[in-house]
């Protein structure tokens, strides 16, 4: 099959990692896979490094021109982001190909329901990465296939690990961390208040906030200063090959208000890090059956209590890690994800997990 993946994001987050992983797996399976991406984006750069075919556009109009010019050249056009699905939907009457859209968010629709329903209906197949991501399309009467995100451990880089540890003074400290942009849906303010509550009980740890900035960055930095947490709470920013840094962590924490699945949690599972998180969207399912500890959304005291519990209970830690590792290997394998997408691409009525 000849497949075009579409992702126009500027940065490098979970959706971009999943796009690149899907492309690699489909290529290994013998298919002709290409990428339409934003000019100069991190995704475009990494795809080129893997010798994948990349088409870069610098504007939405350039995207439209590309799609119309190539409308007969692909068996499938797969929108990995909502903005790319918008353009495929608008161009649907002229495109001579099968359209697939993957929804990677779990935000409730507060407006434009009819517009979103129309857009989603233009896809030949609508995929969600979790039941949480599928909730709104289902509520609007659409059929959805569930194909969870996958995780692929990276080779260990000891030099990177040592350099980062020395730079941030981690020697002799318990390391708690999150990997999340400083945005409202990730709720960094609740996380900072949770770390403040933990710091009132103990001083043997440091908390690393790994991830890009966002709408809540100024408020988050101000709150850390107000609470006097500068020596405990470290804004480490975006990190190249952040997956390698999980090997430093004693606990991984996610304080999200909305989360379709949580690819950073899958990384923690794969690297043997116990997880504490909120009951947001797909996180509750991920951490079920003893794979992690959950607290209510917006509850800093609950997060703090669970962080302390994991730090102080080695048997609990070991049990969580063992259950999580077995689960992620069974349910979030990259090759399995690609096979499920291929079934969708081929339009099989009996595709797994379609309802």
The pLDDT-based confidence of 354 (bands split at 50, 70, 90) is very low
Alpha carbon distance 34, 55 (integer Å):
8
Query: What pLDDT is attached to residue 353?
Result: 38
CB 306 within 8 A of CB 278: no
Both 199 and 305 in one domain: the answer is: yes
The burial class, CB within 10 Å (0-12 / 13-18 / 19+), for 314 is: exposed
Residue 64: CATH number of its domain: 3.40.50.2000
Both 38 and 171 in one domain: the answer is: no
Mean pLDDT in residue range 7-18: 93
Query: What pLDDT is attached to residue 155?
Result: 85
Q: Is the pLDDT score of 305 beyond 50?
A: yes
Please give the structure tokens belonging to residue 15. 């959706």
Alpha carbon distance 225, 228 (integer Å):
5
Query: What pLDDT is attached to residue 211?
Result: 92
Task: Indicate whether 21 belongs to any domain.
Answer: yes
Both 41 and 80 in one domain: the answer is: yes
What separation, in Å, do the N-terminal and C-terminal C-alpha atoms of the chain show? 25
Closest CA to 86 of 119, 133, 37: 119
Q: Is the pLDDT score of 86 beyond 70?
A: yes
Place of tokens 């893997």: 50
Query: What pLDDT is attached to residue 349?
Result: 41
Per-residue CA distances from 350 to 50, 126, 130, 162, 346 (Å): 33, 15, 19, 49, 11
> Which residues fall within 8 angstroms of residue 62, CB to CB, at 6 or more apart?
none
Considering the chain, what is the average pLDDT of its residues?
Answer: 94
Both 17 and 45 in one domain: the answer is: yes
Mean pLDDT in residue range 198-206: 96
Task: Indicate whether 351 belongs to any domain.
Answer: no
Both 133 and 191 in one domain: the answer is: no
Both 252 and 296 in one domain: the answer is: yes
> Which residues fall within 8 angstroms of residue 226, CB to CB, at 6 or more apart?
none
Q: Is the pLDDT score of 351 beyond 90?
A: no
Q: Is the pLDDT score of 20 beyond 80?
A: yes
Could you report the per-residue pLDDT of 227-247, keeping only the tens digit for each? 999 999 999 999 988 989 999
Could you report the per-residue pLDDT of 312-321, keeping only the tens digit for each? 999 999 999 9
Write out the residue range of the structural domain in which residue 14 sits: 2-150+333-345
Task: Indicate whether 355 belongs to any domain.
Answer: no
Both 171 and 293 in one domain: the answer is: yes
Both 220 and 282 in one domain: the answer is: yes
Query: What pLDDT is attached to residue 348?
Result: 63
Question: How many domains is the chain partitioned into structurally?
Answer: 2
Asked whether the CA dihedral 251, 46, 329, 181 is positive or negative, the reply is positive
Task: Indicate whether 354 belongs to any domain.
Answer: no
């Amino acid at each position: 099959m000849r497949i075009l993946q579409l992702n126009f994001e500027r940065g490098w987050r979970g959706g971009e990692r999943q796009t690149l992983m899907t492309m690699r797996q489909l290529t290994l399976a013998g298919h002709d896979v290409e990428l339409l991406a934003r000019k100069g984006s991190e995704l475009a750069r990494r795809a080129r490094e893997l010798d994948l075919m990349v088409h870069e556009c610098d504007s939405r109009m350039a995207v439209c021109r590309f799609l119309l010019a190539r409308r007969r050249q692909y068996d499938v056009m797969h929108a990995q982001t909502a903005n790319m699905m918008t353009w495929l939907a608008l161009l649907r009457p002229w495109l001579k190909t099968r359209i697939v859209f993957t929804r990677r968010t779990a935000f409730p629709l507060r407006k434009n329901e009819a517009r979103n329903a129309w857009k989603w209906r233009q896809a030949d197949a609508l995929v969600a990465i979790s039941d949480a991501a599928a909730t709104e399309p289902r509520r609007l009467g659409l059929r959805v296939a569930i194909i969870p995100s996958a995780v692929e451990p990276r080779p260990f880089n000891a030099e990177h690990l040592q350099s980062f540890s020395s730079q941030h003074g981690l020697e002799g400290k318990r390391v708690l961390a999150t990997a999340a942009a400083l945005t409202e849906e990730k709720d960094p303010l609740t996380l900072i208040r949770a770390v403040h509550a933990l710091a009132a009980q103990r001083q043997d740890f440091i908390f690393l906030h790994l991830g890009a900035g966002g709408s809540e960055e100024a408020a988050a930095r101000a709150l850390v200063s107000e609470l006097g947490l500068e020596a405990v709470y470290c804004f480490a920013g975006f990190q190249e090959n952040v997956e390698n840094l999980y090997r430093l962590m004693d606990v991984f924490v996610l304080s999200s208000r909305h989360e379709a699945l949580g690819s950073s949690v899958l990384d923690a599972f794969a690297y043997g890090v116990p997880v504490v998180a909120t009951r947001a969207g797909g996180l509750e399912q991920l951490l079920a059956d003893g794979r992690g500890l959950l607290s209510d959304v917006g509850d800093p005291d609950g997060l703090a209590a669970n962080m302390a519990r994991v730090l102080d209970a080695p048997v609990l830690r070991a049990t969580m890690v063992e259950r999580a590792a077995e689960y992620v290997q069974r349910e979030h394998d990259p090759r399995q994800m690609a096979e499920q997408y291929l079934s969708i691409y081929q339009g099989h009525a009996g595709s797994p997990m379609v309802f």
